[in-house]
Chain A
């Protein structure tokens, strides 16, 4: 039963990583920028959820506010920071992005305190279900269900609607997509909006899971997400999904097997560095690293 518990933990963390990373991999696919500050968007989402939920008493309203605020913030990052830097080498916007993340993290600390903010009412995080000895918390179920709905929705959107097709076309062949009348700038806005909203949902769910939002909430997750998108083959949503679930499971089981000599949070980077050494083009080889 212990091993099944670990599998549940692994899959629910994997779902969270997937929602966090999909925006990152699509930004890379479109702009060739490593959007490190995506973690700040994730943290912003978590803060908005907890603050609005505490103010209004409704967690659902908190999530609604988060998916309205964070897309605007994501678009602002693109418009004000990345767009003017596109003509430089890709590491220039990346360093700016790291600067923005550090700045935002400190800003959260200054505004809301080192200790973070807890939910005033959060029945969800203490509700657990028992399936023949396997314990699953309500938040874990929420993580898995949300991720399933989100990825199914994303799949339908990118295969069945004109806007979604244009988005996918721009990620894979920007010039040809533009020649077919897809506005590349609108696609970028759409991309930052959807990616940021997903990161905010993931952030809110992590906040519910821990019943806490502290300034460092996005920090380690963000660097893991960088590892995930490389492992998943950059720009590939399917690869990112697989890599996220694999990482979630490896971390869950890895804690008992190699936890004695390596931090749980370092496993992702070990995998990343080993993979980059063996296959610099990533798992799938779809794009060159």
Chain B
């Protein structure tokens, strides 16, 4: 495999983890988060610091997961207090705060970021395999959660909190669980990203990234694991395959987001589902 292929596949794996984990928060549990980049970034910075200090891969992975989920559960408490569209604004705020804070911290490298993160020792293709294995594990986990009692409770909370409460499903605990799980996975993706690039700056975790991830979830079909995986792979490859898309990335992503919401709010998943339903009828 060429170095180019390896890096593309690695990025696809990281984006799949990010999109699937955002889908657990926003798709399963209905809590719209436009700050997923902040949790990804927290994981990447924690893992980078751990790698620089100890050069131990398991420790760095753990640091990423813990940093992502701690920040995530803190933000999860916000979801207990405010209505859904305000939660979205708060998460935008969290993303800007994260970037604004990190940029001024000299111990996090400030504007220059952290460079010279020690290599994992697996080589580029070893890293890629680790990323792919963890991405597959994330997808399997997401499918499992979706079918479990917890997934049912997530959806109940997302659809109607009051109705869920009458079934004995307390919204608070499940919202926190969704945030905790989703952001832990974002932190994991952050650690993998730090291994992959060995150099991080805070600009990689800005609000635009969060919008891109939300675009993957919405275009794939909010709540559908397979739809989101397909959209994450497709939207990562699209700018590589088509030069026009690469030059006008935000134009294309923003346009797709608007068109999908306006014309097919169920995303790819609903389109495929309808197609099958129609062929079965015929």
Contacts and interface: CB of A to CB of B under 8 A. Distances in A.
Interface of A: 32, 34, 81, 84-85, 88-96, 98-107, 110, 220, 223, 226-227, 230, 259-263, 265-266, 268-270, 272-273, 276-277, 280, 288-289
A277 B214 CA distance: 24
Contacts of B261: 85, 92-93, 95-96, 99
B255 to A, nearest CB: 5
Given A85-B261, A95-B257, A102-B211, A273 B32 contact: no
Contacts of A266: 96-97, 99-101
Nearest to A104: B254
A260 B110 CA distance: 11
A227 B86 CA distance: 10
Interface string B79-114: 001111110111011101101110111000000000
Nearest to A229: B89
A263 B101 contact: yes
B90 A98 contact: no
Contact of A230 (B84, B86, B211): B86
A32 B104 CA distance: 36
B93 A272 contact: yes
Given A273-B78, A276-B78, A288-B83, A91 B88 contact: yes
Contacts of B249: 106
Given A106-B248, A280-B82, A226 B92 contact: yes
Nearest to A280: B81
A156 B154 CA distance: 49
A262 B104 contact: yes
Interface in B145-200: none
B100 to A, nearest CB: 3
Contacts of B83: 90, 288-289
Most buried by A among B32, B78, B93, B253: B93
B251 interface: yes
Chain A facing B: main interface SS: helix
B262 interface: yes
Given A96-B257, A102-B250, A261-B101, A91 B85 contact: yes
B258 interface: yes
Contact of B82 (A104, A263, A276): A276
A91 B268 CA distance: 19
Most buried by A among B96, B214, B215: B96
A226 B208 contact: no
Given A92-B261, A223-B92, A269-B93, A107 B251 contact: yes
A289 B82 contact: yes
A283 to B, nearest CB: 14
Contacts of A269: 92-94, 96-97, 100
A34 B88 contact: yes
A95 B104 contact: no
A263 B214 CA distance: 25
A73 B86 CA distance: 26
27 contacts: A34-B88, A81-B262, A90-B83, A99-B254, A102-B211, A102-B250, A103-B254, A104-B254, A105-B254, A106-B250, A110-B251, A223-B93, A226-B92, A227-B89, A261-B105, A262-B100, A262-B104, A266-B100, A266-B101, A269-B92, A269-B93, A270-B93, A273-B90, A276-B82, A277-B78, A280-B86, A288-B83
